[in-house]
């Protein structure tokens, strides 16, 4: 009697493992979607080198979703702000 119970338990375990293996092989519930690459926009803005003007420009672009990524100084009198969105 105990051998029958043990055989039924092994049979149930085998069926369960086969079902799990079939799900993993077919991959239907685990299908991964390919992600679309992110696309960015860039904007280069020349500003006057005074603090108030730069702060106003930064707040304006930041409020519209632009992120400051660089401030190259081609010449010390004309800084450029490079934004990304």
DSSP string computed for 13-81: HHHHHHHHHHHHHH-STTPPPPPPPP---EEEEE--SSHHHHHHHHHHHHHTT-EEEE---SBTTB-EE
Stated pTM of the model: 0.54
Q: Are residues 46 and 79 in the same domain?
A: yes
Give a yes or no: residue 74 inside a domain: yes
* pLDDT tens sequence across 5-32: 656 666 666 667 766 666 556 665 555 6
Give a yes or no: residue 3 inside a domain: yes
Indicate the number of domains in the chain. Answer: 2
Give a yes or no: residue 37 inside a domain: no
């Amino acid at each position: 009697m105990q051998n029958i119970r043990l055989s039924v338990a092994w049979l149930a375990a085998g069926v369960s493992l086969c079902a799990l293996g079939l799900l993993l092989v077919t991959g239907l519930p685990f299908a991964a979607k390919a992600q679309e690459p992110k696309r960015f926009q860039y904007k280069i803005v020349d500003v006057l080198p005074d603090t108030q003007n730069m702060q106003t420009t930064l707040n304006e672009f930041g409020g519209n979703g632009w992120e400051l990524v660089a401030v190259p100084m081609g010449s010390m009198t004309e800084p450029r702000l490079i934004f990304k969105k």
